[in-house]
A and B are shown apart, each in its own frame.
Chain A
Amino acid sequence: MPARAAAAGPRVAFPIERFQLGNGLRVVVSPDHAAPVVMVAVYYDVGFRSEPEGRTGFAHLFEHLMFEGSVHLEKLQHGRLVQGNGGEFNGSTAEDYTNYFEILPSGALELGLFLEADRMLGVRLDEETLANQIAVVKEEIRVNVLNRPYGGFPWIHLPPVLFRTYNNAHNGYGSFVDLEAATLDDAAGFFERYYAPANAVLAVAGDADPDRVQQLVERHFGAIPARPVPPRPDWWEPLPEEERRSVHVDPLAPAPAVAVGYRVPDPIDAMDEYVPTVVLAHLLAAGEASRLHQRLVKRDQVATHVSGSVSLFDSPFEVRDPTMLSLVAIHHEPVEVGAILAAADDEVVAAAERVEADELERVVNSMSSSYLRRIDNRMYRGLTCAVLEQQRGQAELLDELPARWAEVTPDQVSAAAERWLATPSRAVLEWRPASRP
């Protein structure tokens, strides 16, 4: 095991404290009293990869239902209590988690904990609410996917090209047919199975005293009965043996686009091998100084937009295995996809041959600086702590990620390019503005 490099680059030191309740709920607290603001987040260890066949989109639909009333609260009361006390709330559903969170004036800490405890205790379900939220989710899908150009590009359409198994490949927003088939029994079963206290992590960040947090957490969450935690399936599947391709026609899009997806190492069990692929994605395709921007936009002038990231939502440390590195370009109309891919392949080969120390240093500086900017916000700080604790048992990575990136060597980045990108084992999604012969 290599020695950790001495704190290269900027450091922060947000304290982390943790404890666990008798019912299995894990809790992390990161106090900071610079502003009278506190955030509360609960992560449930269930994302859209867990939803059953025939129920695509169910994890996300269920997230909506969690705002519609709980044991002691009527519909609309949750939002009213948070926002009517000067706070803000939201939730989201990703590959491997569903989260719920609020950021509040610090005097409302207990309220925030109560609200999360109440819906962990039980969610109110009735036919009217279910039908209402199915309709709302359909409008969400229309506004974010169906009614706009490049809707779902590439997060909905690339996974089914790269992956073969249902859990990794299916559309996490869900089909309308599946959403409409959802029943109250499905919801009750999903809650029973996945929303157990021991399947959750609670995080509190900001202006709160850890002892007081512990006392309040015990008061509000302590009486929630323990339930068994479902075994977490292994969703690994073999890498593609040859290139897989697909074409999607988007009549609303004014210009063609292409996305390429590559498999990457296990984000958690093979973290030392995984981190260089995250750095590689930035080096190749994040920002104006990146190799693919310089090549495709500036030199060859074939593309107008280039980006690259790891995981479906550019959250490489919030995802489990298997996931992907994706490169994306929007290109000019007469340009053939083959020309874009050939240029991208050139750049991958070049990165596999050589990465300069200076180039790597500036890429890592930029990654670390953006990351610090993000966690300056107590909301993202709490969210990051929670997911790192849930998936890795390592909330402390909140402070340590920049140092992990700074340890990566040029050779490791080249090796990552060689091993994971310089290969036909990938998925290519062509996005076409309208049917072409």
Chain B
Amino acid sequence: MTVPAVAPSQRPRLPRVRDVVQDNGLRVLAVRRPGVPRAEMRLRVPLVRQGPADDGTRTRLLAETLLSGTPARSSFALAQDLQRLGADVMASADVETLVVSGSTLSATLGPFLGLVAEAVATATFPADEVLVERQRVAQELRIALSQPGTIAHHALVSRLYGRHPYGLPMPSPDKVSGTGPARLRRFHAERVAARGSTLVMVGDFDPARAVARVEEAFGAWLPGSPPVRLPAPGPPRRGPVLIVDRPGSVQGSIRLGGPAVDRSDPAYPTLAAATAVFGGYFASRLWANLRERRGYTYSPSAGVSQRPSASNLVVGADVATEVVGPALLETRYELGRMAESLVEGAELGEAVRYLSGGLALSWQTQAGLASQLSTLSAFGLGIGFLRDMPEALARVSADDVLKAARRWMAPRQLTTVIVGQAEAIRAQVEALDDVEMAG
């Protein structure tokens, strides 16, 4: 029995994008995508405008309370009205971008956009609602900050980005509980504005009519001041291996990271291919070694965390406490092998097909295509990326991968953090590298 051959795949056809900019500066992208009778929406609002960048406290609370009331509706009425339409809306924000994601039935697209616009443009942040929500958000943050993965992420980006806003991915719970409605209202008035914002819609509708509906709903939204880019962070401090003590841990959460480039950079396809060969999928080197050969971990990972002002490589594995040292050694060995020798045999072709296939799968749904277009817009890219990236990946050579690995994956350039039972981990790691204890 031989393995069946795979027929060459029909290339997915790129849908047409209706792309218009409203008078107030809001950019609207609309794509017809039938399938289920629904529509997906993603709205990105840049929050860095005139005035100092926030530390993430107001942006987070703003997102969490955006739907807590308008001049016309209470939070309960908003929630009920959305539910009645078969719609859902969720807002999230980091220091630089508010993202309002939602979806609805195609039949209720107009009223849905009306409710979203009402919340985005006229949110009132009622005091009683904000006081409840800030306690709730503070507790959610405490819960998030008790997760080993979150603690490790904080430690890593703090090393990579220092005092740059990217160095603090979540606000402190205490600062959130101390932020009042007046500050939120002021922040909303200054920062949540149409200019520079992008609204993507994908679904079972006529794009021209959908764009007209957006114009009706969002036409009165004020343009505001133009968005500004965050300054790029300085070079990261590699430092010794940072160990963060977490009493009660039964694993060490290992993360390695260093600077990288994002999807708008010509070198990105090569970096993506190198990352995939190293640890991006099941048969990759890190998986084959740490999981399938040694049983150290369930789900190792490697990828590029991309943000508009800076990006970083991140490699991770959560391993039993007693094998933290050996797992770090093997991870660095595999990184070193990437940087010192050419990829072999079929592995580059497999990795490239995996990445191209994954990209195609990512936009087979309305929700997936909407998210892709929205993310691409944040990097100044359009739908053409979905066609160009596979072509660029197919041109990546083994030599390119070696160069990329030397530049971005060499173990001595990467900073390492480990969260776990410090005393049990320390001696293992000290055999390999210098160690610094956090706190």
Contact = CB atoms under 8 A, between A and B. Distances in A.
B9 A105 contact: yes
A83 B36 contact: no
B288 to A, nearest CB: 6
Contacts of B349: 84
Contact of B34 (A34, A72, A366): A34
A149 B103 contact: no
Given A105-B9, A378-B364, A298 B76 contact: yes
A12 B318 contact: no
Interface stretch (A239-247, A250-258, A316-324): A250-258
B3 interface: yes
Given A139-B296, A376-B366, A366 B250 contact: no
A85 interface: yes
B361 A37 contact: yes
Contacts of A362: 80, 83-84
B35 to A, nearest CB: 5
A270 interface: no
A294 interface: yes
B37 A372 contact: yes
Contacts of A294: 76
A359 to B, nearest CB: 8
Contacts of A88: 357-358, 361
A114 B6 contact: no
B431 interface: no
Contact of B318 (A118, A139, A298, A365): A139
Contact of B143 (A12, A73, A330): A330
B148 interface: yes
Interface in A318-342: 330, 332
Interface string B138-155: 011011011110000000
Interface stretch (B85-93, B234-242, B307-315): B85-93
B275 to A, nearest CB: 14
Given A84-B283, A132-B292, A254-B142, A36 B105 contact: no
A366 B251 contact: no
Interface centre among A140, A363, A376, A377 (most CB of B within 10 A): A376
Interface in A15-57: 32, 34-37
Contacts of B34: 34
Contacts of A9: 86
Nearest to B291: A136
Given A86-B353, A149-B147, A365-B84, A110 B4 contact: yes
B76 A289 contact: yes
B35 A34 contact: yes
Interface residues of A, number: 83
A138 to B, nearest CB: 7
A361 B85 CA distance: 10
Interface string A235-277: 0000000000000000111110000000000000000000000
A294 B78 CA distance: 13
Contacts of A76: 282-283, 288, 292
A79 to B, nearest CB: 3
Contacts of B105: 10, 365, 369, 372
A376 B367 contact: yes
Contacts of A288: 67, 75-76, 79
Contacts of A289: 76, 79-80, 82-83
Nearest to A108: B6
B139 A83 contact: no
A148 B292 CA distance: 24
A12 B357 CA distance: 27
Nearest to A333: B139
B239 to A, nearest CB: 25
B215 interface: no
B318 A143 contact: yes
A164 interface: no
A73 B2 CA distance: 10
The 8 closest A-B pairs by CB, nearest first: A86-B357, A135-B295, A84-B350, A369-B86, A79-B282, A107-B7, A105-B9, A289-B79
10 contacts: A10-B36, A37-B364, A83-B350, A107-B9, A139-B318, A253-B146, A287-B79, A305-B140, A358-B84, A369-B86
Interface of B: 1, 3-12, 34-38, 67, 75-76, 79-80, 82-88, 103-105, 107, 132, 135-136, 139-140, 142-143, 145-148, 248-251, 253, 281-283, 288, 291-299, 318-320, 346, 349-351, 353-354, 356-358, 360-361, 364-368
Interface of A: 9-12, 32, 34-37, 71-73, 75-76, 79-81, 83-89, 103-108, 110-111, 114, 118, 131-140, 142-144, 146-150, 251-255, 287-289, 294, 297-298, 301, 304-305, 330, 332, 358, 361-363, 365-366, 368-370, 372-373, 375-378
Given A84-B283, A105-B357, 12 more contacts: A88-B358, A103-B361, A104-B357, A139-B319, A252-B146, A255-B143, A294-B76, A368-B86, A369-B86, A369-B103, A372-B37, A376-B367
